[in-house]
């Protein structure tokens, strides 16, 4: 890979001359911040294109001049993919002006959105056409769909509807040479060559810039229902999931594991939030159903609870009887990350392991952490149906994150080593960005890493696209 | 790309010395045949490895010696991907000895199969664990799962469960340099780098050899039901699909469009097969439901028919009342390809267009064919829910395929041009193989083609993997 050059005034002037008047500006503070303040970006300028043609103009110029380009969506990524802290000053390429819903095809269950549309606006446009766009995650009001696709975002409905990549039929994108790939098809079957779409999805802007996407919609489920059931153990939670899926298959939209530590953190930091159980169980799961004709969620959930009780899987349960109760149950799950933030973790891990190994993994994690420092508290929760746990380690009550600075590296290393031992992933949904580049080098398959480098070199010979993200710069 | 050398005796002797005794043999007739006898392969030998290590040995030797490797699964592909008719004699690499089901994880809905397991055996292994492997297609008794993945096979359940790529979580594969990628994870979320899995899936053996796969299973639907409804038009069929999905969402497992020409061909060639309607409608659809707790398929289908009747979508319907009736309705759909074979098509096209454009496409196709030669008969049928039509053109009654030899090129060109005009795909499920390489050059996006060539060169610098398939050899 050739070495990059900074975007100097001569480059910026020449680029500005090829774009409409206000397309190139100094980067604003919001473009350089990192959500958890763990890093700070730098950029010679921010480009604000209004069309794929203007995006291509920027990338073409950067390719010719060997200048780095950092694509920028909503800025909500948690691994530093949108923030380049050092190296030759790049151009930040923000998609914020490309926010048209180009067209909706309810008959096809397809929506065409530009990369800068927020996830919430995509959801709203689908809803207006009486359809569902099921990708759903905490930052959906700010995150933009281009970023969601570039990072293959996950969230709470992956169990039923898949990750972002599973919700995309076609892409329009600018490749690192500045050429436009017109791949915005709405086809559900198209076996004409290599899967460039899935190569760009999850590449975190290192192989090109997504400018628009054809997104898959679904029918809105006729009947929805939600319950919170205690479970005797993580293994019991897995059995409960199997029972639920035997009954209604894809009708299980979300299945979230919650540990009592999460409920205790809620009580500690958000005391006004009503606790769901009179007696807080060690483990519980939130089950969300979206059902069809002839199915009554309350009945299905009541029947499921009966079976779970008989099988010794669960002892206590709350089944929502109204939309308000449904929202209240969901609040329990949704406020856990906020409670975590208020406590302040020593180290957080977005990991996955094969579903059947979750119980053993959780036990081994506890044992390892208590060997390291028995005062540590663990809040392990998340998308059980996907094998994706947010495994977060916290200070003892009354102590602070900073008190454990010396331990942080060990905590992370021990958890990640354990994940590797269990055949898991050190980044289930957040991606690699810049913060996990070293982890990928350590835990990634070397043959896959070599193939990734070869592909990067082939498509981006000057290494201009999101330098230093995913793969270490040469 | 460097030029290839034939697998000469010196190469074969050296390779044989590194493999168990009977690993290298002369290719048999079955390895060189093409299912429709449109081509005939050649090979210096067939390699029959028993393990991924032996596959790697073969590929490593071929890479070093610049010898072509043609991966061979069940030999059922319809586009010549498994058959290399000319060029320096390659090694045929058959996965037929790698047919272990390595492990089944019912709790995870995952099964690990080696590439040489037939699709039917994968289905049976899933069934034995009380799970469903939903990929289903005509050649499932012979086709092997490695080939299904390499070609991203489709079939009748794509509407609900997706293509082969959607049913795969991880791969073990040998890359063109002979290195083994250990990517056989069972994870549903893993955002650690580029999507090498989806790059290999659908690459038709040109980027490596899949040796094993982690496959996604599903719960077996509790209740199944099938119906055949007349529809007033293709547009009415699309409306019916929307009504069905509004009622039961993913519960619609298959939705197949059938034209009266197909039923007439059945009557002509398979007169013993009972015709489903007293009065054959112009169009009908086969609907297959797989439902959950609380749902009765006959009731859902009866209700659906009532709505369709009220909306002027359908006038006549048959709802299966027993498993035998269900099989009989499915036979109607499944024997159409056999009837087509007996009639003998002038030209067949495996195409897709955006679902909402199907009605206009069908009209335009008819108009264009009748302008070309008004004696042509068209049997247009297939996976309506996926926008995937088998658009096959036949001789007039009493005439033969050979009578239209002069027209064949025009028919194909006109249909493919029309598909391109409608934003469709010239290969919806069969792939490119060798027969459609020129079509891909003509209709493919040039930027995507250039990216494909760059990726091929990066991963397979000597061009040894399945030479001449997908991309024209240099």
Residues 6+ apart with CB under 8 A from A453: A471
pLDDT by residue (tens digit) across A362-413?
999 999 999 999 999 999 999 999 999 999 999 999 999 999 999 999 999 9
Question: Comparing C-alpha atoms, which of B120, B198, B297 is closest to residue A455?
Answer: B198
Local confidence band at A293 (pLDDT 50, 70, 90 cut-offs): confident
Contact B193 A452 (CB under 8 A): yes
End-to-end Cα, chain B, rounded Å: 6
β-sheet bridge partners, residue A256: A286, A383
What is the rounded CA–CA span in Å between residue B107 and residue A387? 11
| Length of chain B, in residues | 474
Local confidence band at B66 (pLDDT 50, 70, 90 cut-offs): very high
Nearest Cα residue in chain A from B446: A181
| Structural contact between residues A234 and A359, judged by C-beta atoms closer than 8 angstroms | yes
HSE-CB for A426 with a 13 A CA cutoff:
25
β-sheet bridge partners, residue B215: B111, B168
What is the rounded CA–CA span in Å between residue A263 and residue A399? 19
Local confidence band at A187 (pLDDT 50, 70, 90 cut-offs): very high
Please state the φ and ψ torsions of residue A78, each to the nearest 5 degrees: -105, 5
Q: Report long-range pairs for B95-103 (Cβ below 8 Å, ≥24 apart).
A: B95/B49, B95/B55, B95/B71, B95/B144, B95/B146, B95/B209, B95/B211, B96/B48, B96/B72, B96/B144, B97/B48, B97/B49, B97/B50, B98/B49, B98/B50, B98/B51, B98/B52, B98/B55, B98/B146, B98/B211, B98/B212, B99/B144, B101/B125, B102/B212
Other Cβ atoms closer than 10 A to B406: 7
pLDDT by residue (tens digit) across A109-148?
999 999 999 999 999 999 999 999 999 998 999 999 999 9
Distance from CA of A187 to the nearest CA of B (A): 6
Query: Strand, helix or coil at B44?
Result: coil
What is the rounded CA–CA span in Å between residue A192 and residue A324? 48
pLDDT number for residue A263: 97
pLDDT by residue (tens digit) across B389-398?
999 999 999 9
What is the rounded CA–CA span in Å between residue B187 and residue A423? 9
For chain B, the average pLDDT equals 96
Contact A202 B194 (CB under 8 A): yes
pLDDT number for residue A192: 97
Residue A13: is its pLDDT beyond 70?
Answer: yes
Contact B196 A444 (CB under 8 A): no
Distance from CA of A276 to the nearest CA of B (A): 27
Other Cβ atoms closer than 10 A to B303: 15
Name the residue among B198, B385, B429 with its Cβ closest to that of A195.
B198
Residue found by looking up tokens 């009557």 in the block:
B267
- What mean pLDDT do residues A244-273 have? 96
Q: What percent of chain A has pLDDT over 90?
A: 96
What is the rounded CA–CA span in Å between residue A168 and residue A111? 10
Q: Which H helix or E strand runs over A53?
A: helix A52-65
Q: Are strands A131-132 and A168-174 parallel, antiparallel or unpaired?
A: unpaired
Other Cβ atoms closer than 10 A to B80: 23
Local confidence band at A37 (pLDDT 50, 70, 90 cut-offs): confident
- What mean pLDDT do residues B145-164 have? 96
Residues 6+ apart with CB under 8 A from A129: A104, A106, A111, A217
pLDDT by residue (tens digit) across B204-253?
999 999 999 999 999 999 999 999 999 999 999 999 999 999 999 999 99
- What mean pLDDT do residues A299-325 have? 97
Residue A172: is its pLDDT beyond 60?
Answer: yes
Nearest Cα residue in chain A from B238: A107
CA dihedral B305, B309, B312, B316 (to 10 degrees): 80
Residues from chain A that touch B383, judged by Cβ atoms under 8 A, are 189
Question: Comparing C-alpha atoms, which of B319, B68, B28 is closest to residue B176?
Answer: B68
Contact A451 B428 (CB under 8 A): no
Angle at B44 between CA B39 and CA B50, to 5 degrees: 100
Contact B190 A428 (CB under 8 A): yes
HSE-CB for B300 with a 13 A CA cutoff:
30
Contact A179 B448 (CB under 8 A): no
Please state the φ and ψ torsions of residue A364, each to the nearest 5 degrees: -65, -40
Say what angle helices A446-459 and B446-459 make with each other, to 10 degrees: 140
Quote the tokens at residue A352. Answer: 């996955």
Question: Could you tell me if the ipTM is greater than 0.85?
Answer: yes
pLDDT number for residue B294: 85
Quote the tokens at residue A84. Answer: 């380049």
Residues from chain A that touch B246, judged by Cβ atoms under 8 A, are 219, 222
Other Cβ atoms closer than 10 A to B137: 17
pLDDT by residue (tens digit) across B423-445?
999 999 999 999 999 999 999 99
CA dihedral A79, A84, A87, A90 (to 10 degrees): 150
Local confidence band at A36 (pLDDT 50, 70, 90 cut-offs): confident
| Structural contact between residues A359 and A238, judged by C-beta atoms closer than 8 angstroms | yes
Q: Is the dihedral of CA A274, A276, A277, A280 positive or negative?
A: negative
pLDDT number for residue B322: 95
Contact A218 B249 (CB under 8 A): yes
Residues from chain B that touch A196, judged by Cβ atoms under 8 A, are 448, 451-452
Residues from chain A that touch B428, judged by Cβ atoms under 8 A, are 187, 189-191
pLDDT number for residue B293: 84
pLDDT number for residue B396: 96
Contact A166 B166 (CB under 8 A): yes
What is the rounded CA–CA span in Å between residue B380 and residue A233? 54
Nearest Cα residue in chain A from B469: A193
β-sheet bridge partners, residue A159: none
Query: Strand, helix or coil at B52?
Result: helix
β-sheet bridge partners, residue A93: A47, A71
Contact A190 B428 (CB under 8 A): yes
pLDDT by residue (tens digit) across B449-474?
999 999 999 999 999 999 999 998 75
Nearest Cα residue in chain B from A388: B189
Nearest Cα residue in chain A from B108: A355
Distance from CA of B158 to the nearest CA of A (A): 9
HSE-CB for B268 with a 13 A CA cutoff:
17
Contact A187 B449 (CB under 8 A): no
Query: Strand, helix or coil at B181?
Result: strand
Residues 6+ apart with CB under 8 A from A59: A69, A93, A174, A175, A176, A177, A178, A208, A209, A464, A465
Angle at B170 between CA B456 and CA B80, to 5 degrees: 45
Contact A201 B192 (CB under 8 A): no
Interface test with B, best of A215, A224, A389, A451 (most B CBs within 10 A): A451
Local confidence band at B37 (pLDDT 50, 70, 90 cut-offs): confident
What is the rounded CA–CA span in Å between residue B80 and residue B61? 25
Contact A386 B189 (CB under 8 A): yes
Q: What percent of chain B has pLDDT over 90?
A: 97
Contact B295 A299 (CB under 8 A): no
| Structural contact between residues A80 and A34, judged by C-beta atoms closer than 8 angstroms | yes
What is the rounded CA–CA span in Å between residue A25 and residue A30? 13
pLDDT number for residue B473: 74
pLDDT number for residue A48: 98
Name the residue among A159, A180, A455 with its Cβ closest to that of B455.
A455
Chains A, B: CB contacts within 8 A come to 296
What is the rounded CA–CA span in Å between residue A458 and residue A444? 21
Other Cβ atoms closer than 10 A to A2: 10
What is the rounded CA–CA span in Å between residue A394 and residue A368? 14
pLDDT number for residue A2: 58
pLDDT by residue (tens digit) across B69-107?
999 999 999 999 999 999 999 999 999 999 999 999 999
For chain A, the average pLDDT equals 96
What is the rounded CA–CA span in Å between residue A173 and residue A52? 8
Cα A345 versus chain centre, distance? 19
Quote the tokens at residue A284. Answer: 């519980």
Residue A97: is its pLDDT beyond 90?
Answer: yes
Residues from chain B that touch A221, judged by Cβ atoms under 8 A, are 249
B87: left (phi over 0), alpha (psi -120 to 50) or beta: left
Query: Strand, helix or coil at A302?
Result: helix
Residue found by looking up tokens 């159980």 in the block:
A277
Say what angle helices A408-421 and A358-372 make with each other, to 10 degrees: 150
pLDDT by residue (tens digit) across B264-303?
999 999 999 999 999 999 999 999 999 988 889 999 999 9
Domains of chain A in start order, with CATH, are 101-219 (3.30.465.10), 223-337 (3.30.70.2190), 344-421 (3.30.70.2740)
Local confidence band at A302 (pLDDT 50, 70, 90 cut-offs): very high
Say what angle helices A297-310 and A234-248 make with each other, to 10 degrees: 140
pLDDT number for residue B2: 58
pLDDT by residue (tens digit) across A452-469?
999 999 999 999 999 999
Question: Comparing C-alpha atoms, which of B139, B134, B103 is closest to residue B214?
Answer: B103
- What mean pLDDT do residues B342-360 have? 96
**Integer CA distances (angstroms), A463 to A4, A63, A66, A469, B166, in order:** 7, 9, 8, 11, 31
């Amino acid at each position: 890979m050739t070495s990059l050059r900074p975007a100097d005034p001569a480059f910026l002037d020449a680029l500005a001359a090829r774009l409409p008047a206000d397309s190139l500006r100094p980067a604003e503070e919001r473009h350089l911040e990192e959500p958890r303040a763990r890093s700070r970006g730098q950029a010679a300028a921010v480009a604000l294109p209004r069309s794929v043609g203007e995006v291509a103009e920027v990338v073409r110029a950067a390719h010719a001049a060997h200048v780095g380009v950092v694509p920028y969506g909503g800025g909500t990524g948690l691994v530093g993919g949108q923030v380049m802290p050092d190296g030759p000053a790049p151009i930040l390429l923000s998609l914020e002006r490309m926010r048209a819903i180009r067209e909706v095809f309810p008959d096809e269950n397809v929506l065409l959105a530009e990369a800068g549309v927020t996830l919430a606006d995509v959801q709203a446009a689908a809803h207006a056409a009486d359809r569902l766009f099921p990708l759903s995650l905490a930052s959906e009001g700010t995150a933009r769909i281009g970023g969601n696709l570039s990072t293959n975002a996950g969230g709470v409905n992956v169990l039923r509807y898949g990750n972002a990549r599973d919700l995309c039929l076609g892409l329009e994108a600018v490749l690192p040479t500045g050429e436009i790939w017109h791949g915005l098809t709405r086809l559900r079957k198209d076996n004409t060559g290599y899967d460039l779409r899935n190569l760009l999805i999850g590449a975190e802007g290192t192989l090109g810039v997504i400018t628009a996407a054809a997104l898959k919609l679904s029918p809105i489920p006729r009947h929805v229902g939600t319950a919170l059931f205690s479970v005797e153990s993580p293994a019991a939670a897995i059995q409960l999931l199997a029972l639920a899926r035997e009954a209604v298959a894809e009708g299980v939209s979300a299945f979230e594991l919650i540990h009592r530590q999460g409920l205790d953190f809620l009580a500690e930091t958000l005391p006004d939030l009503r606790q769901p159980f009179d007696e807080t169980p060690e483990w519980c799961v939130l089950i969300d159903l979206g059902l069809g004709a002839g199915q009554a969620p309350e009945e299905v959930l009541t029947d499921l609870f009966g079976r779970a009780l008989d099988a010794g899987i669960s002892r206590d349960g709350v089944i929502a009887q109204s939309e308000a109760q449904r929202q209240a149950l969901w609040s329990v799950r949704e406020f856990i990350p906020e409670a975590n933030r208020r406590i302040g973790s020593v180290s957080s891990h977005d990991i996955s392991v094969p579903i059947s190994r979750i119980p053993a993994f959780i036990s081994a994690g506890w044992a390892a952490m208590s060997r390291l420092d028995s005062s540590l508290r663990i809040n392990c929760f998340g998308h059980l149906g996907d094998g994706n746990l947010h495994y977060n380690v916290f200070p003892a009550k009354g102590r602070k994150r900073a008190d454990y600075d010396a331990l942080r590296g060990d905590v992370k290393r021990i958890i990640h080593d354990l994940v590797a031992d269990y055949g898991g992933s050190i980044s289930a949904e957040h991606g690699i960005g810049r913060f996990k580049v070293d982890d990928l080098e350590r835990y990634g398959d070397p043959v896959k890493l070599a193939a990734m480098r070869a592909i990067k070199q082939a498509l981006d010979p000057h290494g201009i696209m999101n330098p230093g993200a995913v793969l270490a710069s040469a």
